[in-house]
């Protein structure tokens, strides 16, 4: 089952190297994706429902950006964004449940513009959160950037996974293994699969023109997860907190370019 984050499978690779024209379209889609996450930030407050966040994002993507929210109806997903709260790892379906102070929530946005996808997610603290929740969010974000910093032609996917896994485990967190990053372009999910664990110098070697997502999910407890009865929402088996961050990353001739970078990260 290919969910909204890539789920790990054993298919043969057919990696698409993007042309200069395609890269420009990916830049536009990436910028729009970043803008949705910037726009929604002020609304993520105690008392808001994730359905309300979904509606605000949907209207912004459709009416303001004149773009398409990729998750809506993707393999039957019923909403325009994913909202994963506390022990939810990924693919949380927006609902009428209100967020409360102390919650942490991942908002995952994928925008299609002119046929090309941008994909990014960010953790939000709802009101004031515990120090341990804040630390989990911070370390997960650091792990993502350590993975991104590996990216350059000739580096391997194993190098990316190893950097993420090492930072997570050094901080006593576990890495979810069932879901991964992925190639992205005209399709929401393309090859290769980008695992967030691994051994250096193993796996696919990156080439300029590849575009991938790097989107580690770290758990405060054990790495094991399960899918709820809605067939989408993934939670930690031990109900421990989970955090995820995601960016869409272009492999350039000399390194990397984050296509979904937000103003706050510049």
Q: Where are the domains of the chain?
A: 6-259
10, 72, 168, 232 from 34: Cα distances, Å: 31, 18, 25, 24
The pLDDT of residue 1 is 39
The pLDDT of residue 220 is 98
CB 185 within 8 A of CB 117: yes
The pLDDT of residue 13 is 74
Task: Name the one residue in this structure whose structure tokens are 């994730």.
Answer: 50
CA–CA dist 75, 108 (Å, integer): 16
CA–CA dist 142, 159 (Å, integer): 16
The pLDDT of residue 10 is 59
End-to-end C-alpha distance for the chain, whole angstroms = 36
The pLDDT of residue 233 is 98
Q: How many CB atoms lie within 10 A of CB 207?
A: 12
Structure tokens at 189: 């999910």
Encode 43-60: b = buried (16+ Cβ within 10 Å), e = exposed. ebeeebebbebbebbbeb
CA–CA dist 223, 66 (Å, integer): 39
pTM greater than 0.75:
yes
CA–CA dist 190, 183 (Å, integer): 4
In CATH, which of 3.90.230.10, 3.40.50.150, 2.40.160.40, 3.40.470.10 is domain 6-259?
3.90.230.10
CA–CA dist 130, 139 (Å, integer): 14
The pLDDT of residue 11 is 60
CB 38 within 8 A of CB 263: yes
Q: Residue 192: is the preceding peptide bond cis (ω within 30°)?
A: yes
CA–CA dist 258, 117 (Å, integer): 14
The pLDDT of residue 171 is 98
Local mean pLDDT, 10-residue blocks, the chain (266 residues): 66 86 98 98 98 99 98 98 98 98 98 98 98 98 98 98 98 98 98 98 98 98 98 98 98 98 96
The pLDDT of residue 4 is 73
């Amino acid at each position: 089952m290919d969910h909204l984050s890539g789920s790990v499978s054993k298919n043969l690779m057919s990696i698409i190297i993007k042309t200069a024209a395609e890269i420009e379209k990916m830049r536009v889609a990436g910028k729009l994706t970043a803008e949705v996450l910037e726009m929604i930030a002020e609304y993520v407050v105690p008392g808001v429902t994730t359905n309300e966040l979904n509606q605000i994002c949907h209207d912004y993507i459709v009416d303001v950006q004149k773009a398409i929210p990729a998750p809506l109806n993707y393999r039957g997903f019923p909403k325009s964004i994913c909202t994963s709260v506390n022990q939810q790892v990924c693919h949380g379906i927006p609902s009428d449940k209100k967020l409360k102070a102390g919650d942490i929530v991942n908002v995952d946005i994928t925008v299609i513009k002119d046929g090309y996808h941008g994909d990014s997610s960010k953790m939000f603290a709802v009101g004031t959160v515990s120090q341990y929740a804040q630390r989990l969010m911070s370390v997960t974000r650091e792990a993502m950037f350590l993975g991104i910093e590996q990216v350059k032609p000739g580096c391997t996917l194993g190098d990316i996974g190893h950097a993420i896994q090492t930072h997570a485990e050094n901080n006593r967190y576990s890495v979810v293994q069932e879901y991964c990053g992925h190639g992205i372009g005209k399709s929401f999910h393309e090859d290769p699969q980008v695992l967030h664990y691994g051994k250096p110098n193993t796996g696919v070697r990156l080439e300029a023109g590849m575009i991938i997502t790097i989107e580690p999910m770290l758990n405060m407890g054990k790495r094991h997860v399960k899918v709820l009865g809605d067939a989408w929402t993934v939670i930690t088996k031990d109900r421990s907190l989970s955090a995820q961050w995601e960016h869409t990353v272009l492999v350039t001739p000399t390194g990397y370019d984050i296509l979904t970078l937000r103003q706050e990260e510049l």
